Amino acid sequence: MESKRKFTVGEKITTLEELLECEWVIWHGKTTHIEVIKSLQLRIVMKGLECGLIHKAIKKESEGQE
């Protein structure tokens, strides 16, 4: 299943500013759009940052493209 995923886990996001620069993130192991994160309560997002639960989502290159 990993080979079908469009994104891979990147660096941990540690600040709210860094989080808001992203369009896609990995939240609890799942690829999540930033608008979903923005709709959460601030304290939930801050706790996720503090615990290292949010990572950058790095888009994988298609293997058929060059």
**Which pLDDT value is given to residue 5?**
84
29 domain-assigned: yes
Q: How many CA atoms lie within 13 A of 39 on its CB side?
A: 5
Q: What is the pLDDT of residues 13-42, one digit of tens each?
A: 999 999 999 999 999 999 999 999 999 999
Distance CA 22, CA 14 (A): 12
Q: Rounded to 5 degrees, what are φ and ψ at 37?
A: -65, -40
Full residue range of the structural domain in which residue 29 is found: 2-59
Instruction: Specify the amino acid at residue 17.
Output: E
Distance CA 12, CA 53 (A): 8
Q: What is the tally of structural domains in the chain?
A: 1
pTM for this model (two decimals):
0.81
Q: Rounded to 5 degrees, what are φ and ψ at 8?
A: -125, 160
16 domain-assigned: yes
64 domain-assigned: no
